[in-house]
Amino acid sequence: MAADTARPLDANKTDGELELDRVFALQKKAYAAAPFISYDQRMASLDKIIRLTEANEQKFIDAINADFGNRARHETIMSEIVITVSGAKLAKKNLKKWIRPRGVATPAHMLPAKSRLEPQPLGVIGIISPWNYPIQLALTPVIAALAAGNRVMIKPSELTPHASEAMRAAIASEFDETVCAVITGGVETGQAFTETPFDHLLFTGSTPVGIRVAQAAAKNLTPVTLELGGKSPVIIDDSADTAKAATSIAQGKMLNAGQTCIAPDYVLASPDKVDAVAEDIANAARTLYPEIDTTADYTSIISDRHFARLKTLVEEARDRGAKIIEVGSANALHPQRKLPLTLVVDPPEDIGIMKEEIFGPILPILSAKTQDDAISRINEGDRPLALYWFGNDRVARDRVLEKTVSGGVTVNDVLWHFAQENLPFGGVGKSGVGAYHGETGFETFSHMKPVFYQSKFAGTALLHPPYTEKTDKILSFLRKIL
């Protein structure tokens, strides 16, 4: 069966591809020998995730810092360590409930039969994790996959080699490779990973790459969960406290230097408030990062290529006459790739920052005359991964929630819906396919198998052929009561 074997051997494969094939074959064999992992084994795996995350905290901090040039230590603790451990603890707390078969109502005419959904492990799960949160965005889906009783293979980004190696060593210290393993390698290994016939594949990254991942997975009919991105809007309602909103927006945009898939991508405010909003966000940024150019609290851009791209976006906006407000040195200490928070007020619609996901500390602030204008502006684009609304008018809030479609929403703050493990995390449309976190993650990596238990008192034999007038009467009765 094509879906149960690794890709054909090829003498031209890289070391990473050969390792991929070897571990995949081992995990498929292990799954075939033991397709159901017990509750106790799953709990032990979750304990291992907690233990390796906490035991390697400083190694992860140092590794990520080395990959970025500078990654704020507190950001790594909050976004990588705390979220990962809390996710594993939530899974442990709820696993006994999640793993139980769930009763399903059986129609009266089919009684006394019973119906249930029985969660079943899918098999071998592939996870392609990104560079921006290289530990958390790898291990959080691993938690869900292990809780569901699967075996897991992780392909981390080649842009964070130190973090990838630290995670590989940490996982190898706790897990047998037939249960969980990290496969490192470059672009060729990543491509081969997408073409491997996993029982489910989760990818976190950009929409263009996500499309290619889905196309590669489709060749094996591998089901996918795609956590992508897009342009996540902020609406500042006229009822909002703009100064308070500005602090949340500045913090959310500057966390990880804006290299966050759910970071605010642009702000919508009334024309008479746009300048005040820009000033408030700039002031908030200066308070949060008084020495933005030199402080270790502010994270660097991941690479020279990404840094150059962001600088080009800013210069294009400047050349087109947009108002630019920079919080920090325009020189941005290039050796450390620290880009100042750059506010772009009412830029032209046809420039780069308005057409593509920014993924950096650049924030357009746009005029929207009315709430309807703001809603229309959002709905004209692709459906975003996140939406943020600030204000105190409940009617206005609920109208925005009703009239827009986004992967998730935080009201009167930004980002925090992601950290609520009981809320599913995922996109919609071009911002993603499927979701995970909490029970949703457990179900994503499970086959919720429907099982119908027929009763020995069933009357279905009355509907067997040869069909008679009696059959017609029974069918007529059933049609009346259904």
Tell me the mean pLDDT in the region 102-118: 93
Paired tokens of 431: 């911002």
Other Cβ atoms closer than 10 A to 208: 12
Is the pLDDT at 398 greater than 70? The verdict is yes
| Domain total of the chain | 2
Q: Are 482 and 137 in contact (CB under 8 A)?
A: no
Q: Are 441 and 415 contained in the same domain?
A: no
From 136-150, 311-325, 451-465, the region with the lowest mean pLDDT: 451-465
d(CA 173, CA 166): 11
Cα(236)–Cα(391) distance, rounded to whole angstroms?
7
- What range does the domain containing 139 cover? 2-228+434-447
| Catalytic residue from among 17, 75, 227, 421 | 227
pLDDT at 145 over 90: yes
- Shared domain check, 59 and 162: yes
Place of tokens 């230097």: 257
List the structure tokens of 261: 């898939």
Q: How confident is the model at residue 133, as a pLDDT? A: 98
Q: Has residue 131 been placed in a domain?
A: yes
Distance CA 320, CA 315 (A): 8
Paired tokens of 170: 């940490």
Q: What's the burial of 172, exposed, middle or buried (CB within 10 Å: 0-12/13-18/19+)?
A: middle
**Do 440 and 354 belong to one domain?**
no
User: Is 261 designated active site?
Assistant: yes
- Judged against a pLDDT cut of 90, whether residue 461 lies above it is answered with no
Residue 293: the pLDDT is: 75
Looking at residue 254, its pLDDT comes to 96
CATH label of the domain that carries residue 386: 3.40.309.10
> Domain check: are 244 and 111 in the same one?
no
**267 & 399 share domain:** yes
Indicate if 165 belongs to the active site: no
Q: Which two tokens stand for residue 19?
A: 């390792």
Choice among 261, 357, 439, 443 that is catalytic:
261
What CATH number should be reported for the domain holding residue 72? 3.40.605.10
Mean confidence (pLDDT) of the chain: 94
Q: Using CA atoms, how far apart are residues 300 and 340, in angstroms rounded to an integer?
A: 10
Do 194 and 45 share a structural domain?
A: yes
Asked whether residue 171 is assigned to any structural domain, the reply reads yes
389 & 439 share domain: no
> Are 293 and 193 contained in the same domain?
no
Measured CA to CA, the distance from residue 365 to residue 87 in angstroms comes to: 34
23: tokens are 């571990």
- CB-facing half-sphere around the CA of 34: CA atoms within 13 A: 11
Segment of 220-224, 465-469, 477-481 carrying the highest mean pLDDT: 220-224
Verify that 298 and 341 share a domain, yes or no: yes
Count of Cβ atoms closer than 10 Å to residue 290 Cβ: 10
Residue 231 pLDDT > 90, yes or no? yes
Please determine, for residue 460, whether its predicted confidence score (pLDDT) is greater than 90: no
Query: Which residue shows structure tokens 């994790």?
Result: 129
The predicted model gives 388-417 an average pLDDT of 98
Q: What is the pLDDT of residues 158-213, one digit of tens each?
A: 999 999 999 999 999 999 999 999 999 999 999 999 999 999 999 999 999 999 99
Tell whether 201 and 268 lie within a shared domain: no
In b/e form, how buried is each residue of 181-190, taking b as 16+ CB within 10 angstroms? bbbbbeeebb
C-beta of residue 156 within 8 angstroms of C-beta of residue 163 = yes
What is the distance between the alpha carbons of residues 347 and 316, in angstroms, rounded to a whole number?
A: 10
What pLDDT band is residue 108 in, cutting at 50, 70 and 90? Answer: confident
